[in-house]
Amino acid sequence: MTNPTLLILAAGMGSRYGGLKQLDKLGPNGETIMDYSVEYAIRAGFGKIVFVIRKSMEDDFRTFILSRYIDRIPVEYVFQELDVLPEGFTVNPERVKPYGTAHAILVAKNAVKEPFTVINADDFYGEDAFRVMADFLRSPQGATLPQFAMVGYRLENTLSENGSVSRGVCTANDKGQLVSITEMTKIQHTANGIANCSEDGQVTPLDGSTPVSMNFWGFTPLFFEKLDEMFCHFLEKNNSNPKSEFQIPTVINYFLQSGAAQINILKSDAKWFGVTYQADRPLVVQRLRELGE
């Protein structure tokens, strides 16, 4: 089997964090979180790394990131920019932020020709997550339907004490397969437990043991085929809204609702942590230091 590719989404603007957290040196020896992800991917047998970045990050990326890996594993990078659109579409002049995580995957379609894993650059996923995903992607697919996967994490272990977070809240069947995923953007601790507190005032209580997606996905290249079509439909409906986003859960739900693929929730002993806000930074620094102790 072909060794899988790791696709790292690193083009996010980091507005809540207050800077380019993808390049923040959080480890005891100046490592970024991406350094850990790449190291774990190499150990798990991934064969190539592809980064999605912005053009404005290119010089820093080549100096501080690319040089770390170029002699260890094949590395490519692609740009997620507002003007990377299908023919016939133009950018809404009021749009500031990128089009979302599904668009970030789509811009890498010419660089990824093998089974691949998608992760966020600024999330620490744990070594075991890369192992179980690599094993899944290398396994022969004997099923009738295409087999995709995600690593699930307990909601209660993915929250920040410093503000709300966005999570893909999942439901699964008794076979451990994903049934639905709902993007919730204001999940936080409340006086009555964990809940999503939407901007319109609606409060949705959530169980802390609920599996959530932290954008650790495993796909085959046919995933790109549907992305092209769905992004065109998204732009036709939403390009007039400069804040609309084309997110991974939207595409995942298409596959689930249409029955076009099965999505397996992989079990892992890995622990997630990340930096959503600047105030999260000291805890992440501490946890990374503890890894080497």
222-255 residue pLDDT tens: 899 889 899 999 999 999 999 999 988 888 988 8
Q: Is 54 in a helix, a strand, or coil?
A: coil
pLDDT in tens, 142-187: 667 889 999 999 899 888 888 899 898 999 999 989 998 888 989 9
Could you please report the per-residue DSSP string of 184-251? EEEEEEETTEEEEE-TTS-EEE--TT-EEEEEEEEE-THHHHHHHHHHHHHHHHHTT-TT----HHHH
Q: Say if CB 213 and CB 152 are below 8 A apart.
A: yes
Q: 0.85 exceeded by the pTM? A: yes
Q: What are phi and psi of 77, to 5 degrees?
A: -140, 150
- The alpha-carbon radius of gyration of the chain (Å, integer) is 18
Q: Rounded to whole angstroms, how far apart are CA atoms 86 and 99?
A: 13
pLDDT in tens, 3-60: 999 999 998 755 555 566 777 889 999 898 999 999 999 999 999 999 999 888 888 8
DSSP summary character for residue 149: E
List the structure tokens of 48. 């190539």
Looking at residue 198, what is its pLDDT? 87
Closest CA to 17 of 284, 287, 289: 284
Looking at residue 207, what is its pLDDT? 93
Q: Rounded to whole angstroms, how far apart are CA atoms 64 and 25?
A: 10
Question: Looking only at Cα atoms, what is the longest distance across the chain?
Answer: 55
Helix (H) and strand (E) counts in the chain: 8, 13
